[in-house]
């Protein structure tokens, strides 16, 4: 019978009865030419039929123990003292978050890293050998750096201190995007932009400006000014209040040297006087449960529950009496009634024609009662009405009559929907229209 060649996997013919020997490349399911009492290691399954490969790779023997040497590169997991190349991904008040790009000290560093080991934190004290108030004073987002792993559990931590090869390798100008170069023309600044007048400080590596290579004889550590105090001029520009990533002019020259921080970015002082969270506007009100004065970080809505911290804790723990909750409902009911007297009852009008005007809407609704306000929102881009309007009646009874009379009526050739303006009512209306 003539022999017919078939496809090969490695050096083995698919479908042949040949058993793989030491040195052969195998794939899962291939029988191995081993004795039944052979010592086996990883990648080999032993059964009554013999030994079978369970992973792809080369069959090897180490000191009499047979195993499969996987052809798949091992996982690229950062370990203690590994040197890596990374990119500054985020600047926090006291830490810089670095995205690991390549592990130099790992032979498998060219492969992707596991998601849970893709980011490392560098604490502000691990950036350079001088006092840095905030991480944004020595790094900027998208800077490329070389760093060393100093902690792997429970999270990765790194440092750019202790070795002149560690530090910033590449930095771009925040205002114009040009590559920064080293400069000692101004005290306390060691990088400058060749295109614009931006200058700043970076925790420099000796390899700065040369990619990941370290040139022979390079020495930029003096530009980091280790152990030196900041000048009075630079001291005023550092982030002592922890205001990163909202950076001072030292870190973002576009804002100007005498830049005033806007209200939304200002930070209220903490107990140590060094800054804290951004200020939030507080509104004075009365707790609907205990009737005591309190403050909340939002504008209270009449008829909605507003509770102080103590009452919130009681409600969450289920320790509030039913009688107290009943009193609260009465308080909210009275608040809604008082709000209606002072603010009126607002109606939502949907399906309004683009040709309709506020006068058209006012003429239609005013015949059903006294109006306090008519508002027709305009789309600023299209310069036309947005298709809905709000009408406020002074009296609830008149508002209810207007809803019954005008809901599903026509205005300028389009059928309109009229309902009380609140989220519950609008949701009900949408569901009715969808069901139809």
The pLDDT of residue 42 is 84
Sheet holding 417-420, edge to edge: 371-375, 388-393, 345-350, 417-420
Residue 280 has pLDDT above 80, yes or no: no
Q: What is the pLDDT of residues 171-205, one digit of tens each?
A: 998 778 889 999 988 778 899 988 888 888 999 99
The pLDDT of residue 260 is 52
- Report the pLDDT averaged over residues 311-340: 85
User: Rounded to whole angstroms, how far apart are CA atoms 218 and 39?
Assistant: 54
**What confidence tier does 168 reach under pLDDT thresholds 50, 70, 90?**
very high
The pLDDT of residue 314 is 85
Q: Which two tokens stand for residue 97?
A: 């978050």
Residue 318 has pLDDT above 90, yes or no: no
- Report the pLDDT averaged over residues 266-291: 66
Residue 336 DSSP symbol: H
pTM over 0.85: no
The pLDDT of residue 144 is 95
CA angle 207/99/109 to nearest 5° reads 70
The pLDDT of residue 313 is 84
**What confidence tier does 299 reach under pLDDT thresholds 50, 70, 90?**
confident
The pLDDT of residue 149 is 94
Show the domains of the chain with their CATH numbers.
8-70 (2.40.50.100), 83-233 (2.40.50.140), 284-341 (no CATH), 344-435 (3.30.70.330)
| Phi and psi torsions of 214, nearest 5° | -115, 105
């Amino acid at each position: 019978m003539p022999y017919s060649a078939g496809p090969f996997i490695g050096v083995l013919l698919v479908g042949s009865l040949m058993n793989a020997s030491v040195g052969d490349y195998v794939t899962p399911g291939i029988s191995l030419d081993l004795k039944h009492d052979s010592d086996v290691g990883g990648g080999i399954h032993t059964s009554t039929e013999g030994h079978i490969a369970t992973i792809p790779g080369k069959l090897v023997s180490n000191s009499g123990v047979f195993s499969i040497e996987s052809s798949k590169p091992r996982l690229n997991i950062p370990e203690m003292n590994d040197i890596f190349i990374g990119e500054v991904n985020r600047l926090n008040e006291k830490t810089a978050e670095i995205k690991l790009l390549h592990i130099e000290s790992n032979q498998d560093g060219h492969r992707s890293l596991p998601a849970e080991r893709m980011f490392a934190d560098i604490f502000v004290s691990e950036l350079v050998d001088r006092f840095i108030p905030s991480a944004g004073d020595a790094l900027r987002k998208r800077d490329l750096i070389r760093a060393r792993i100093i902690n792997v559990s429970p999270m990765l931590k790194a440092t750019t201190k202790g070795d002149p090869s560690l530090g910033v390798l590449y930095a771009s100008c925040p205002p114009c995007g040009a590559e920064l170069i080293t400069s000692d023309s101004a005290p306390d600044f060691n990088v400058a932009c060749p295109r614009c007048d931006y200058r700043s400080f970076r925790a420099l590596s000796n390899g700065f400006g040369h990619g990941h290579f370290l040139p022979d004889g390079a020495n930029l550590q003096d530009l980091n000014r280790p152990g030196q105090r900041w000048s009075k001029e630079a001291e005023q520009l550092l982030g002592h209040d922890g205001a990163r990533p909202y950076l001072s002019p030292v870190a973002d020259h576009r804002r100007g040297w005498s830049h005033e921080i806007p209200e939304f970015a200002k930070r209220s002082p903490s107990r140590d006087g060094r800054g804290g969270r951004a200020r939030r506007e507080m509104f004075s009100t009365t707790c609907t449960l205990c009737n005591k004065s309190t403050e909340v970080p939002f504008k209270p809505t009449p008829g909605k529950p507003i509770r102080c911290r103590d009452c919130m804790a009681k409600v969450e723990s289920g320790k509030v009496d039913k009688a107290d909750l009943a009193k609260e409902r009465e308080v909210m009911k009275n608040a809604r009634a008082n709000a209606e007297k002072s603010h009126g009852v607002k109606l939502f009008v949907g399906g309004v024609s683009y040709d309709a005007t506020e006068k058209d809407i006012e003429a239609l609704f005013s015949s059903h009662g006294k109006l306090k306000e008519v508002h027709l929102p305009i789309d600023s881009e299209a310069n036309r009405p947005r298709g809905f309007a709000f009408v406020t009646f002074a009296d609830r009874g008149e508002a209810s009559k207007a809803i019954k009379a005008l809901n599903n009526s026509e205005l300028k050739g389009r059928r309109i929907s009229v309902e009380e303006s609140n989220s519950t009512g609008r949701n009900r209306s949408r569901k009715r229209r969808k069901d139809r």
